[in-house]
Amino acid sequence: MKIDREQSVMMKLEHLVKAIRQYRGVVRKGPVSTVAAGLIPLQSADVLAAYGEDAAVIKVGKEILLMAADGIVQDLVDRNPYWAGYCAVLVNVNDIAAMGGQSLAMVNVLACSKEDVRSKIVEGMRDACDKFGVPMVGGHLHPDTKYSSIDVAILGKTDRTRLVLSSGASEGDPVVFAMDLDGQFTEGVPYSWDTTSKKSKEVVRKQLRTMNKIAPYLTAGKDISNPGALGTLGMLLESSRAGARVEISKIPRPKGVDMVQWLTAYQGCGFVVTCRPGRATLVIDEFARSDITAHECGVVTKGHKLEVELDGDHQVLFDFEKDTLGGAVPQKI
């Protein structure tokens, strides 16, 4: 049976869309909205933004504090406890950076009865704290569990003029993907694109400050996390109650890396942002100054669909009238 090029491209995009929709990092986000919905009635006049954002935004006098928490999936803790400890810090630092903020301090909850595993998790956390310059100031230990887990909460700060929300994208805003392509997949962890462990403290800290620098040009932003590049954009769009059209081939990607693996990878340093029309070049150039490759890949649209294009073929990746990635309950008070 002969398949022409047009059919081949269509099958390729259909496979890509299916792989992303079925990816564990995407599927496991759905229940977030039901948990958050049960807590939303608890409000405070000092909370400016909460659910649907990478960090809660809390007003304390003239200061804007950022608070977030993240946990590491069980299989990573079991497979590579050192890297689990390292990533427990990394993912939280990235959440604060994505909001245009500066990380101040962290606490952890560690559950592990095996001393050798516990020590590896702690070593990973300590190395990451040293790398990113954020102290671990306390926490809680469960030394007698039948499982091992690590969760970290973080406190950061920013100011009103440099606060980046997930929920601010509007029709006509350019969509920019930004990734550090100088990295490697962690051995045994095919969804972890490591760009930080082998770089100097100065380099990774400069990269983290980039979002703060470009914040005045942005309308929305998130760090590329567990759902991968397009899944993270989906979370941003769901929070913003908007749609988008994206040309997949324009998303930065290292040579020789499988497209599905790349688009579902957690990025050691990666962001997806929307910016004010006419500001995309400024945003891209500022990312470049920190050795982060950024491309304008699409545009925010009116509606509720994330549409993707590859070699002229179009597919709907997410339709937020039916799909959820857990970002449907942004709360701005």
Q: Say what percent of the chain tops pLDDT 90.
A: 82
Same domain, 149 and 210: no
More confident residue, 282 or 42: 282
Mean pLDDT calculated for residue range 240-267: 96
pLDDT of residue 253: 97
The length of the chain is 333
116 confidence band (pLDDT: 50, 70, 90): very high
Question: Are both 270 and 152 inside the same structural domain?
Answer: no
**b or e along 30-68 (b: 16 or more beta carbons within 10 Å of the residue's beta carbon)?**
eebbeebeeeeeeeeeebbbbbbbbbbbbeeeeebbbbb
Name the average pLDDT for the chain.
Answer: 92
pLDDT of residue 246: 98
Here the CATH number for the domain that contains residue 259 is 3.90.650.10
114: phi > 0 → left, psi -120 to 50 → alpha, else beta; which?
Answer: beta
Boundary of a domain, candidates 160, 192, 225:
160
| 314 and 176 part of one domain | yes
CATH of the domain at 131: 3.30.1330.10
Indicate whether 225 and 283 sit together in one domain: yes
205, 208, 209, 212 alpha-carbon torsion, rounded to 10°: -160
For residues 184 and 305, membership in a common domain is answered with yes
Looking at the fold, whether 175 and 134 belong to one and the same domain comes out as no
| pLDDT, position 11 | 56
Residue 303 and residue 251 share a domain: yes
Q: How many domains does the chain divide into?
A: 2
Q: Are residues 130 and 213 in the same domain?
A: no
Helix, strand, or coil here: 257? Answer: coil
Q: What are residue 69's phi and psi, to 5 degrees? A: -150, 150
In this structure, the answer to whether residues 116 and 245 fall within a common structural domain is no
Q: Are residues 114 and 188 in the same domain?
A: no
Q: Final residue of a domain: which of 113, 133, 160?
A: 160
What is the span of the domain harbouring residue 311?
5-31+165-319
pLDDT at 268 over 90: yes
- From residue 57, how far is each of 103, 169, 172, 173, 328 by CA, in Å? 13, 18, 26, 23, 17
Please check whether residues 89 and 65 belong to one and the same domain. yes
Q: Decide which of 129, 160, 191 is a domain's last residue.
A: 160
173 in the same domain as 315: yes
Q: What is the pLDDT of residues 5-48, one digit of tens each?
A: 444 445 589 999 999 999 998 988 777 777 777 776 566 888 88
pLDDT of residue 63 exceeding 70: yes
